[in-house]
Amino acid sequence: MPNKMSKPKSINELIRIGGRRLTDLKAKSEKRNVALEHVCAALPPSLAQTVVSAGLESGQLTIGVAGASWASRLRYVTDSLRKRVGGSMGVEINTVRIKVVPPRSPA
């Protein structure tokens, strides 16, 4: 007797139904999006548009920037950024790490 194959589930459906690993991944992604929003809101628009990613873990804010020159500019405002983002998120940020990453793809 042949096995019936079920219709494959969409990614959205798999995430919705979950499973611990997918649920954890979704929660981590949402936290990173919140951190990114707070970082971008704390920066001047010209610098905010170069920020590709952000995440906060164990008191360390990690920011991904599209290009070494932008990373350099961001390093000049690291202390005020740490205080503003920490204040707006209601957490203590001890260190800020800036790294160069590939640019965001257009939405």
Distances, alpha carbon 50 to alpha carbons 14, 87, 99, 104, 106, in Å:
32, 22, 12, 8, 12
pTM of the full predicted structure?
Answer: 0.76
Contact 96, 61 (CB under 8 A): yes
- Considering only 2-6, 20-24, 34-38, which range has the smallest mean pLDDT? 2-6
Q: Please, what are the domains in the chain?
A: 34-107 (3.30.300)
**What confidence tens digit (pLDDT) does each residue in 74-104 have?**
999 999 999 999 999 999 999 999 999 987 6
> How confident is the model over 35-88, as pLDDT tens digits?
999 999 999 999 999 999 999 999 999 999 999 999 999 999 999 999 999 999
Distance CA 23, CA 97 (A): 27
